[in-house]
Amino acid sequence: MTIKEIFDTMDYGPAPEGSAEALAWLADRGGIAGHFVNGKWGALRDDFPTNNPATGEKLAGVTKGTVEEVAEAVKAARKAQPAWAKSGHKRARTLYAIARLMQKHARLLAVMETLDNGKPIRESRDIDVPLAIRHFYHHAGFAQLMKDELPDREPLGVCGQIIPWNFPLLMLAWKIAPALAMGNTVVLKPAEYTPLTAMIFAEICDQAGVPPGVVNIVTGDGETGAGLVTADVDKIAFTGSTEVGRKIRDATAGSGKALSLELGGKSPYIVFEDADIDSAVEGLVDSIWFNQGQVCCAGSRLLVQEGIAERFYTKLKSRMDGLRIGDPLDKCIDVGAIVDPVQLAQITQMVSANTEGETYQTTAPAGCFYPPTLITGLSPASTLMQEEIFGPVLCATTFRTPSEAVEIANNTRYGLAASVWSENINLALDIAPKLAAGIVWINGTNMMDAAAGFGGVRESGFGREGGWEGLSGYTKPKGTPKQLKKIDAFTTEVGHPADPLDRTAKLYIGGKQARPDGGYSTPVYSPKGKLLGHVSKANRKDIRNAVEACNAAKGWSKTTGHLRAQILYYIAENLSARAEEFSSRLSAMTGYNSGADDVETSIRTLFTYAAWADKYDGQTHGVPIRGVALAMKEPVGNIGILCDDASPLTGLVNAMAPAIAMGNRCILIASEPFPLAATDFYQVLETSDVPAGVVNILTGSHGELAPTLASHMDIDSVWSFSSSDVSATIEKASAGNLKRTWVNNGKALTPDTHSWLQAATEVKNIWIPYGE
């Protein structure tokens, strides 16, 4: 091709990257990806192949890990963990050494990633590998700082980690770097399609002096992953499909294992009429056709303001026509191969089954390739607008107003990422906080960094990876909590009404006292058998009513921290005015010599979270762009809480105060054996200007109400400090909408202030580039 032809056609000639060194590396190691356990390579078995997606040729055999082999890896990790956790400085030096060696072998890693995954070499070389290296550098710093900055935290122990095939090396770094930095050891299972860069990484760990057993890699398929989920590990960190995430949530329920899930997405890409259209089109190429659309945070739902839709579509189609599809090892290629024929068939089937809108496709070579596709004219409820395709398919619709854009964007069960394009910064910053997503990019897309946490809400999972917010998932409070015993209510065979008039305490729903739907009540006795009164027995319909009241009070989340602080102070003031009455009630119910200490503790707690209401700030992350990443701390939403049985007043206030201080609405299930303090407390709420629906108080059986709380699709988180054995029930039932849970697993938890605040908030990272 002559220079003149290049200028006339704007075509690029081939610029192939050599694969000989990577293939030689495989051949030198027997052509098989196998286990790396306790610092040694295990037996190599060619149980199934991993193929080059672009050619279909076999790259290597893969050893399928058995349950016994997984157990051996966990055993090695368990043995190595105490010594690894001792010195943060030694961990920092080791992580730094890993980063340096990854830089040394960057070309080998990039080529192997492209061979195994099918993504263009430009992406592997310029994005995946440098960002993976960045994570180890960044977390080397966290290892050094842990002792000073996290003095009350300690490692979880052994972490089981399962990563997907779309970013094999990058996901490995996201998982392993923070775990090692905090003093944990790991057993990692790469995806069955893409295990090869994990093998290179294992050698790098050996060269970097990682002690045997600290990093263990077990290859295999879904059965191997299932074996790791049920193994004797302290945490499971999973990135993959929502369907598998549900199964893992179900399998780990009640085990006491920590869990983080980074799952699917159907991310909106919102273009307002004042946007720089050419920039938005180019950003869209990076958003949906990056890695062939096989990205959980891909901007797969295009929302264009109606006035510019046709112009935008025309420019987008023209840009699509210029995308180069073909050999991923060609440096001039924009779109590579789909990872496997199974995935290609799934994409093809979903698009072929669609009968709505207008489809525009470019062309693709034969083999495991799929052409960039645009489908316009879809309704927000269309299957392709709701279901994750995980391919180079862009689904589009239009909107008229900013409020409609937000409504359509949030009309999904996912909540991972979003992009907002507008030259009006006031509009962009107004829209970004309203989007149900863990990360929002303004006038940009797919920006990631180790300093800024990544993760979602709703059925996109829970937990964060990266940044300060990502570290909490790999640590726990120091100390060993005591085992709880079930606290039963006092009973008596005799007893007469405390008052000839019925004074059964009602429920508190939507700012009003409400009779229970079931119409039943239960007596409450003192330790000496004296009848103190009756309380209502709530059922699932009462929970339904409480959730509706919470939803009606969503405005509470938009109020200022200052206003929430004032109301918390007012609650404390009114409780203080009735301190003697509450003290007497607590003494009568529980047999304490005096309930005065509990009342005083509750007042202090209210003051503490009133103080934090306007001071629990987010952060500005130092990310390597010309701009900032704002980590905003937002309310979780509707929180269902089973209160501490042993402390009927402080247990309720301890949970309620941080929840509402951060802007959440809550449904409090009072202490089961000692509920009257809670029913007295709602009288305080009634006189403290708490908006209706912000706090709802139910009484009844924790065992009966817990499953309904956990399975309710409109409750966003469930906390349990109950002495009843409900932790497993809550975790299992929460798999429905993958809500966050915080349960005690039968232990007496004593969370510190920051743990409460962290549980009451979600972190949303908003990336804002600036400059011309």
Catalytic residues: 262, 296
HSE of 457, CA atoms in CB hemisphere, 13 A: 24
Q: Are 409 and 435 in contact (CB under 8 A)?
A: yes
Question: Which helix (H) or strand (E) covers residue 749, if one does?
Answer: none
Beta strands at 373-376 and 393-399: parallel, antiparallel or unpaired: parallel
Direct distance between the N- and C-terminal alpha carbons of the chain, in angstroms, rounded to an integer: 36
CA-only gyration radius of the chain, Å: 28
* Residues sharing a CB contact under 8 Å with residue 394, sequence separation 6 or more, in sequence order: 284, 288, 293, 299, 300, 302, 372, 373, 374, 375
β-bridge pairing 619-621 and 531-536: unpaired
Write a three-state SS string for 729-752. HHHHHHHHCCCEEEECCCECCCCC
User: How far apart, in whole angstroms, are the C-alpha atoms of residue 452 and residue 624?
Assistant: 10
Neighbours of 349 (CB within 10 A): 9
Q: Which residues contact 3 (CB under 8 A, 6 or more apart)?
A: none
Q: Is residue 107 within 8 Å of 264, Cβ to Cβ? A: no
Residue type, 90: K
* Distance (Å, whole) CA 180 – CA 159: 10
- Within 298-438, strands assigned E span 301-305, 358-361, 373-376, 393-399, 417-421
Q: Give the containing element (helix H, strand E) for 528.
A: none
Round to whole Å and give the CA distance between 103 and 268. 35
Single-letter code of the amino acid located at 27 = A
CA 395 to chain centre: 25
Which residues pair with residue 128 across a beta bridge? Answer: none
CA distance 38 to 103: 24
Cβ distance 191 to 152 under 8 Å? no
Please give the Cα distance from 245 to 415 (Å, whole number).
Answer: 15
**DSSP string across 657-681:** HHHHHTT-EEEEE--SSSTHHHHHH
Closest CA to 104 of 224, 188, 204: 204
**Residue bearing tokens 């945070």:** 297
Q: How far apart are CA 536 and CA 742, in angstroms?
A: 26
| Geometric angle at alpha carbon 473, from 194 and 554, rounded to 5° | 110
Cα→Cα distances 394→206, 282, 334, 415, Å: 43, 14, 16, 18
Beta-bridge partners for 399: 305
Q: Which two tokens stand for residue 239?
A: 């990135």
